A and B are shown apart, each in its own frame.
Chain A
Amino acid sequence: MSNLTDLTIARAQAGLAQGDFSARELTDAYATAVEAGRELNSFVAETLDAARDQADASDRRLKDGEAGLLEGVPLAIKDLFCTKGVHSAACSHILNGFKPPYESSVTANLWQAGAVMLGKANMDEFAMGSSNMTSYYGAVVNPWRREGDSRPLVPGGSSGGSAAAVAAHMAVAATGTDTGGSIRQPAAFCGVVGMKPTYGRCSRWGIIAFASSLDQAGPITRTVEDSAIMLRAMSGYDAKDSTSVNTPVPNYAAALGGGVKGLRVGVPAEYRLDNMPAEIEVLWQKGIDWFRDGGAEIVDISLPHTKYALPTYYIVAPAEASSNLARYDGIRFGLREPGADLRETYCKSRAEGFGAEVRQRILIGTYVLSAGYYDAYYLKAQRVRARIAEDFSKAYEKVDVILTPTAPSAAFAAGEKMDDPIAMYLNDVFTVPASLAGLPAISVPAGLDDGGLPLGLQLIGKPFDEETVLRAGGFMEDAANFMAQPQWLTEGAAS
């Protein structure tokens, strides 16, 4: 029997179904991996005992022929998801000790499908960041290293712990959330598959809010097939979320295969940035060639407002966040720093509880909503957002899916890009437009850069057309034949 932690969801399920191993054995193998991988700091809370109980229950259901969609599959859950009675802090000090008396709809769906929770995955505080450096619980180490360079690299963010855990085989798969690229960019940095579905596809109920009009949960997996399987289990209408869309959840895995003949693949001119590393250009061109060779029609398209997506995002997301994070006041939960009076207690608790990045975004958000600036910043941004969405609608009159790089670089070392916030924001330059338009998008590992680090390509689809995105993603995955493994796996934890 091969190493259990090397199995994908699909193969693990086959093994479980055939009785090659038990769910308990699978979970035990992952529990060992989680414990052995602590130096990566992927998990901020381990729930291994509870995981073993869940696995035992899975074994009973497997025996009774009642297996769910994800029966016995051990997952890492991003700390942004509220999990009943378990550490749920958005990796912020302000939620110190918070254990929600409720379970998020998405994780409830996963447990309903038989999945097993290994623990809570590290992330940027309140999902604000692209490097996982802003977590109160410390940085996550990317299991990949640059060739000939022992410096630790960031896993990307904000779902950095999730992506690192999946890449280092400490979980079969993980949940992530994506507000401006927080699933896709870390997936690209860690050489795994990250899928952000259409806004409204997964319920936001019970997910700690960052920016409500953008936040969307999705799977981080090792393969596109796993992404399809897990997305199906996560998705679904939820009457408790007013922005949840009531449309049936297809069997996404059934959409895979069948090639891309006749598929119209758009290549947006505006994603060709000045100063973009040549290797990204080369990879993108490779992707185009794969699709052309596969019989797809390559269509040059224009998304003219692309360059305005980032500044738009950096108004909209902080504005919503400044309001969403007002509830962290030290009264009903979380950190309270005593002050001389109520106001000082508020101000000290929030200064102490929020990290620098979160504080800065709250201040920007407060400013752009404040009297005299609302029209110039917030309303303007919402109008530009409409323009960006319109760009996509027009493009989809001519194409079925859009192919772009996922990020403008491979993973960087901790400390790089830290001085200049805008340089950090640029990590999300290719992922933010689809977030603003609410579109489904996937990042698939497609090659390595000159330093041997993984690079991803992104496919963006029409609203609720996850099936085409996954089908094209599966095709690209096959074409890329990405077999590289992080040093963490090939050389062992000590290297």
Chain B
Amino acid sequence: MAIDKATVLRIAGLAHIEVEESALEGMAEELNGILAWIEQLNEVDTDGVEPMSSVVDMTLPQRDDEANDVATRDDLLANAPETEGGFFVVPKVVE
């Protein structure tokens, strides 16, 4: 099938979700089941059909260039697991 354990690992890596080695097999099987079911879309003739990314039939509304919406720093940081000196804090990033 399309998805093997390595593929599950790769996707989970892209999605930044840790997956236990023991769960890989089962997840691959489940994802394959869903994808096999999705394959039926190939029956539909979509030649020349524009992909539909929105049902809204209008153009993008545009806002005025006004700097009138800034959050207080307290509001911004209130829900953060760790902050220091007005910054959000995360484990060290290695450049």
A366 contacts B41, C-beta separation under 8 Å: no
Q: Could you mark each residue 62-78 of chain B with 1 if its beta carbon is under 8 Å from any beta carbon of chain A, else 0?
A: 01000000010001101
- A334–B42 CA distance with the chains assembled, in angstroms: 40
A363 contacts B8, C-beta separation under 8 Å: yes
B82 contacts A336, C-beta separation under 8 Å: yes
- A362–B17 CA distance with the chains assembled, in angstroms: 9
A351 contacts B27, C-beta separation under 8 Å: no
B3 contacts A382, C-beta separation under 8 Å: no
B30 contacts A347, C-beta separation under 8 Å: no
Please name all residues of chain B whose beta carbon is closer than 8 Å to the beta carbon of A359 when the two chains form the complex.
17
Q: How far is the CB of A322 from chain B (nearest CB, A)?
A: 6
For B55, B63, B94, the residue with the greatest tally of chain A CB atoms inside 10 Å of its CB is B55
Q: Would you list which residues of chain A between 348 and 382 have a CB under 8 Å from chain B?
A: 348, 350-351, 354, 359-360, 362-364, 366-367, 370, 377, 379-382
Interface size class of B (residues with CB under 8 A): 35 or more
B52 contacts A363, C-beta separation under 8 Å: no
Q: Could you mark each residue 5-42 of chain B with 1 if its beta carbon is under 8 Å from any beta carbon of chain A, else 0?
A: 00110011011111100000001001101110110111
Please name all residues of chain B whose beta carbon is closer than 8 Å to the beta carbon of A333 when the two chains form the complex.
79-81
Please name all residues of chain B whose beta carbon is closer than 8 Å to the beta carbon of A370 when the two chains form the complex.
11, 14
Number of A residues near B (Cβ < 8 Å) is 68
- A331–B94 CA distance with the chains assembled, in angstroms: 17
- A312–B53 CA distance with the chains assembled, in angstroms: 12
Task: Kindly identify which residue among B31, B61, B75, B76 contacts A364, using a CB–CB cutoff of 8 Å.
Answer: B31
Residue of B nearest to A99 (CB): B79
Please name all residues of chain B whose beta carbon is closer than 8 Å to the beta carbon of A292 when the two chains form the complex.
none
Whether B84 is near chain A, meaning CB under 8 Å from some CB there, is no
Residue of A nearest to B12 (CB): A363
Residue of B nearest to A305 (CB): B44
Please name all residues of chain B whose beta carbon is closer than 8 Å to the beta carbon of A305 when the two chains form the complex.
44
Q: How far is the CB of B69 from chain A (nearest CB, A)?
A: 9
Whether A438 is near chain B, meaning CB under 8 Å from some CB there, is yes
Whether A385 is near chain B, meaning CB under 8 Å from some CB there, is yes
Residue of B nearest to A390 (CB): B49
Please name all residues of chain A whose beta carbon is closer than 8 Å to the beta carbon of B75 when the two chains form the complex.
101
Whether B56 is near chain A, meaning CB under 8 Å from some CB there, is yes
- A269–B2 CA distance with the chains assembled, in angstroms: 34
Please name all residues of chain A whose beta carbon is closer than 8 Å to the beta carbon of B14 when the two chains form the complex.
366, 370
Whether B93 is near chain A, meaning CB under 8 Å from some CB there, is yes
Segment with Cβ contacts to B, from A33-41, A279-287, A337-345, A445-453: A337-345
Whether A383 is near chain B, meaning CB under 8 Å from some CB there, is yes
Q: How far is the CB of B56 from chain A (nearest CB, A)?
A: 5
B18 contacts A348, C-beta separation under 8 Å: yes
Task: Kindly identify which residue among A97, A200, A384 contacts B79, using a CB–CB cutoff of 8 Å.
Answer: A97
Whether B58 is near chain A, meaning CB under 8 Å from some CB there, is yes
Task: Kindly identify which residue among A336, A341, A386 contacts B52, using a CB–CB cutoff of 8 Å.
Answer: A386
Whether A329 is near chain B, meaning CB under 8 Å from some CB there, is yes
A347 contacts B17, C-beta separation under 8 Å: yes
Residue of A nearest to B20 (CB): A351
Task: Kindly identify which residue among A338, A343, A354, A384 contacts B46, using a CB–CB cutoff of 8 Å.
Answer: A384
Please name all residues of chain B whose beta carbon is closer than 8 Å to the beta carbon of A338 when the two chains form the complex.
91
Task: Kindly identify which residue among A314, A335, A348, A363 contacts B27, using a CB–CB cutoff of 8 Å.
Answer: A363
B11 contacts A331, C-beta separation under 8 Å: no
- A199–B58 CA distance with the chains assembled, in angstroms: 12
Q: How far is the CB of B62 from chain A (nearest CB, A)?
A: 9
- A354–B35 CA distance with the chains assembled, in angstroms: 21
Please name all residues of chain A whose beta carbon is closer than 8 Å to the beta carbon of B18 when the two chains form the complex.
344, 347-348, 350-351
Please name all residues of chain B whose beta carbon is closer than 8 Å to the beta carbon of A314 when the two chains form the complex.
34, 37-38
- A363–B3 CA distance with the chains assembled, in angstroms: 11
Known interface pairs A308-B40, A333-B80, A336-B82. Does A387 touch B16 (Cβ–Cβ under 8 Å)? no
Whether A243 is near chain B, meaning CB under 8 Å from some CB there, is yes
Known interface pairs A315-B38, A382-B52, A386-B49. Does A367 touch B31 (Cβ–Cβ under 8 Å)? yes
- A325–B46 CA distance with the chains assembled, in angstroms: 30
Please name all residues of chain A whose beta carbon is closer than 8 Å to the beta carbon of B51 when the two chains form the complex.
379, 382-383, 385-386
Known interface pairs A363-B17, A367-B11. Does A334 touch B46 (Cβ–Cβ under 8 Å)? no
A422 contacts B33, C-beta separation under 8 Å: yes
Known interface pairs A239-B61, A367-B11. Does A421 touch B30 (Cβ–Cβ under 8 Å)? yes
Instruction: Please name the 3 residue pairs, one residue from A and one from B, whose CB atoms are nearest each other, closest first.
Output: A438-B55, A382-B51, A333-B79
Other CB < 8 Å A-B pairs besides A351-B18, A367-B31, A421-B30, 8 of them? A100-B79, A239-B61, A315-B38, A331-B90, A334-B79, A379-B51, A386-B50, A438-B56
Give the A-binding residues of B (Cβ under 8 A).
3, 7-8, 11-12, 14-19, 27, 30-31, 33-35, 37-38, 40-44, 46, 49-58, 60-61, 63, 71, 75-76, 78-82, 88, 90-94
Could you list some 6 contacts between A and B, CB below 8 A?
Answer: A242-B61, A308-B43, A333-B80, A343-B16, A351-B19, A386-B51
Give the B-binding residues of A (Cβ under 8 A).
97-101, 199-200, 213, 239, 242-243, 245-246, 305, 307-308, 311-312, 314-315, 322, 326, 329-336, 338-339, 341-348, 350-351, 354, 359-360, 362-364, 366-367, 370, 377, 379-387, 389, 421-422, 436-438, 463
